[in-house]
Amino acid sequence: MNRELRLTRAFVDLADTLGAEYDALDLFTRLGEHCLGLLAVDAVGVVMSDARGELRTMSSSAVDLGRLDLLQLQQDDGPSVDCFRSGEAVTADDLRIGTRWPEYTAGALAAGYVSVHVLPLRLDGGAIGAVALANRRSGVLPDADLVVAQGMSDVTALTLTHGPGEHARPYDLLTLLQAALSAKAAVELAKGLLSEYADVSFAAALDLLAGHASRKRLPMTVVARALAERVLTPAEVLEGSPSEALRGPPGG
């Protein structure tokens, strides 16, 4: 499949709110997957602001990048924090050079990331979050890749406002942000329950959760909330899961 067709399919996928499995939180995961598939990047992380203007981690394609995002939010210092505050792209094409974000940089280099490009997650002319594109090699991403990444990020933010039922009431940004963060919290709780029950890592627990949602053609957050409310049991989620998903040590 040529790149132009893959790009078209990516934008259509990110704009789709009609499928039975539409999930606002899942949009961030899909954004990361498309960035990985279309751009010269090794990992993608998304953070988003809550109603108080504080950033929260929403998705990460790699556990170590997710830890880096959490670190910079705790320290209130890092490329995603700067991008969100300025509403402008932030680039560090070689983290080994310079002294910006000392704790983040040390953590990034320890994890093997040498460069990072962060783009604003924009809506109505302002930033509601940031999308980090991390690489294990130095260098500036091609302008064409940055344009594509910003375009996909903009479509993702816009799609959040047009989920099923959203058209039935006036658009409310704070309500939207709170709903996405609530969904994230439910998924994290469900991951913890599955990790403990199946004795697997959090990453494997997420795969189990996503797999069950896909088999049942339900949004992942619906499955997560059913687990959290004890309507669904961990054993039911594991039923029908491939054996590979049940392997791996508990934890990160």
What count of other Cβ atoms lies within 10 Å of the Cβ of residue 190? 26
Q: What is the DSSP letter of 251?
A: B
State pLDDT tens for residues 117-173. Answer: 999 999 888 899 999 999 999 988 999 999 999 999 999 888 887 655 444 344 456
Rounded Cα distance between 15 and 12, Å, is: 5
DSSP H helical ranges for the chain: 3-15, 24-38, 63-75, 79-86, 102-111, 143-160, 173-198, 202-216, 220-228, 234-238
What does the pLDDT average to over 212-222? 83
Written as six digits, the tokens of 32 are 């990361």
Question: Does the pLDDT at position 96 exceed 80?
Answer: yes
Specify the range with the lowest mean pLDDT, choosing from 5-14, 31-40, 149-158, 181-190.
181-190
Look at residue 74 in the predicted model and tell me its pLDDT: 93
47, with CB counted inside 10 A (0-12, 13-18, 19+), is: buried
Q: What is the pTM of this model?
A: 0.73
CA 249 to the chain's CA centroid:
23
Look at residue 13 in the predicted model and tell me its pLDDT: 82
